[in-house]
């Protein structure tokens, strides 16, 4: 069974959607550990509630980004992790980490990439005036929200949308496509060819 580690900094609703998919058996995987860089992350509480190992690893305790990431790799290795799932992890992973887990790290972003990478993607979409936005699950590379795209879902923007109303509708779609992307990975159905991810269904 696929052994997953989740990296999260915040409330953990994507983590919860993955837990739910596993519990209702639509995803055959095991979350072996949740790691956060924020000791107050809701994601840690959500993991503990489901008897999943949860650890705050404090970036301030390590001299450098590279040492911090080495510490995370060590924990993941002890757990035999196959796939690293970033779910609202507010750090860009460095070269060594990305290379160590090459092709085995996923991220979710609340826009239709390559539009609106980085912070406040929903606000960026509203300010730009696009009619459609959405969310993207992609493999992580060394850039910010730049890796090969696995799945996307489209969300129409309403005239009276606020950042909050839009974020909440996008989140609804995130909770569908993230477990689905992990399922495809777990069933060996994702084939990366350059920038393209072919889905073998
Ligand atoms: C989501 O909108 C995700 O796309 C972004 O950060 C947010 C995390 O939300 N990367 P949650 O912690 O999973 O609820």
Distance from Cα 87 to the centre of ligand 1, integer Å: 6
Return the SS3 of 57: coil
Buried residues in 56-80 as b, exposed as e (16+ CB within 10 A)? ebeeeeeeebeebbebbbebbeebe
Nearest CA to ligand 1 atom 5: 88
pTM over 0.95: yes
- The span from the CA of 181 to the CA of 171, in Å, is 15
- The span from the CA of 86 to the CA of 132, in Å, is 24
Distance from Cα 196 to the centre of ligand 1, integer Å: 24
- Convert the pLDDT of each residue in 135-178 to its tens digit: 999 999 999 999 999 999 999 999 999 999 999 999 999 999 99
- Convert the pLDDT of each residue in 78-132 to its tens digit: 999 999 999 999 999 999 999 999 999 999 999 999 999 999 999 999 999 999 9
Residues with CB under 6 A from ligand 1: 8, 10-14, 87-88, 108-110, 171, 174
Give the pLDDT confidence score for residue 201 in this predicted structure.
78
Q: State yes or no: pLDDT of 75 exceeds 90.
A: yes
Q: What are phi and psi of 172, to 5 degrees?
A: -55, -40
Considering the chain, what is the average pLDDT of its residues? 97
Only one residue has tokens 């406040």, namely: 120
Give how far Cα 125 sits from Cα of 46, 59, 140, 184, Å. 30, 31, 22, 28
Distance from Cα 13 to the centre of ligand 1, integer Å: 7
- Note if 109 is an active site residue: yes
Give the closest residue to 105 by CA, choosing from 13, 19, 1, 190. Answer: 190
């Amino acid at each position: 069974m696929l052994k997953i580690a989740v990296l999260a900094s915040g409330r953990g609703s994507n983590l919860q959607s993955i837990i739910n998919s596993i519990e209702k058996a639509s995803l055959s995987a095991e979350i072996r550990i949740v790691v956060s860089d924020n000791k107050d992350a809701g994601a840690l509480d959500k993991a503990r509630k489901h008897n999943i190992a949860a650890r705050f690893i404090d970036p301030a305790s390590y001299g450098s980004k590279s040492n911090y990431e080495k510490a995370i790799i060590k924990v993941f290795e002890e757990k035999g992790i196959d796939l690293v799932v970033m779910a609202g992890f507010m750090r860009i992973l460095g070269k060594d980490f990305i290379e160590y887990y090459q092709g085995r790290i996923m991220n979710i972003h609340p826009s239709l990439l390559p539009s609106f990478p980085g912070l406040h993607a929903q606000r960026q979409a509203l300010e730009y005036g696009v009619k459609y936005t959405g969310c993207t699950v992609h493999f992580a590379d060394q850039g910010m929200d730049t890796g090969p795209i696995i799945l996307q879902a489209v969300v129409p923007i309403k005239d009276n949308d606020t950042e909050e109303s839009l974020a909440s509708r996008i989140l609804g779609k995130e909770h569908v496509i993230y477990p689905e992307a992990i399922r495809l990975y777990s069933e060996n159905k994702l084939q990366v060819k350059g920038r393209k991810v072919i889905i073998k269904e």
